[in-house]
C-alpha cells in the first residue's frame, strides 16, 4: 500500500500550519511535545501512530533523509488528540538515540527547517514493543495503513 495523504485534518493549539513552532517545543528550551489533534479519520480506523520528521536535516540514516524527532504508536482509535508533553502511547527511538519526543534544534546557521507531524490511521489497534525506529514502525504499520496526513511547523535557530 502506498503512503498517500487522506482527508484527515491535523492541528495544534501550539502553532498554525506552516507556522513557527514555539521555543518550548524545541531542543533549545523545554523540549516538550506540542498538543496535537486530528479529525476525519478514514472509516474503520482502530489505531494511530504519530511521527515527527525534519526532512531538511542534512543526514542520511537507514537509507532515509532527514532527522526523526518522534516515533509514537499503540494509540487506540478512541484517541484523537494528544496533550502537550503527552505520556500517551508507546515511544520509539528518535534519531538522537533516545526515546520520546526530541524537539527541533537544527544546526546553527542552517536556516529554516520544516517539521512534519504525521498522524497515521490504522485498521487495527496494534500492540508493538517500545523502542522501534521509524523504519521498524513503518514496516509494521504499512499493512494496516488506512490513511495519513500531517501538520507542518517551522523552526530556525537564531
pLDDT category of residue 121 using cuts at 50, 70 and 90 = very high
Q: May I ask the CATH architecture of the domain 9-157? A: Alpha-Beta Complex (3.90)
The answer to whether the pTM exceeds 0.85 is yes
Distance CA 142, CA 130 (A): 18
Rounded Cα gap, residues 73 and 70, in angstroms: 10
User: CB of 54 within 8 A of CB of 97?
Assistant: no
User: Which stretches within the chain are classed as H helix?
Assistant: 134-141
What is the distance between the alpha carbons of residues 107 and 67, in angstroms, rounded to a whole number? Answer: 12
Q: Answer whether 26's CB lies under 8 Å from 113's CB.
A: no
**Residues 16-74: pLDDT tens digits?**
999 999 999 999 999 999 999 999 999 999 999 999 999 988 766 666 778 999 999 99
Amino acid at each position: 500500500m502506498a503512503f498517500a495523504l487522506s482527508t484527515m485534518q491535523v492541528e495544534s493549539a501550539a502553532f498554525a500550519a506552516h507556522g513557527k513552532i514555539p521555543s518550548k517545543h524545541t531542543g533549545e528550551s523545554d523540549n516538550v511535545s506540542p498538543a496535537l489533534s486530528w479529525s476525519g479519520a478514514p472509516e474503520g480506523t482502530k489505531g494511530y501512530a504519530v511521527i515527527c520528521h525534519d526532512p531538511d536535516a542534512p543526514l542520511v540514516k537507514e537509507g532515509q533523509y532527514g532527522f526523526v524527532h518522534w516515533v509514537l504508536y499503540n494509540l487506540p482509535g478512541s484517541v484523537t488528540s494528544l496533550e502537550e508533553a503527552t505520556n500517551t502511547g508507546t515511544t520509539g527511538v528518535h534519531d538522537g538515540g533516545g526515546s520520546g519526543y526530541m524537539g527541533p534544534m537544527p544546526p546553527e546557521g542552517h536556516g529554516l527547517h520544516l517539521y512534519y507531524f504525521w498522524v497515521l490511521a490504522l485498521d487495527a489497534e496494534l500492540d508493538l514493543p517500545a523502542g522501534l525506529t521509524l523504519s521498524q514502525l513503518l514496516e509494521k504499520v504499512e499493512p494496516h495503513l488506512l490513511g495519513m496526513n500531517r501538520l507542518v511547523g517551522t523552526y530556525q535557530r537564531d
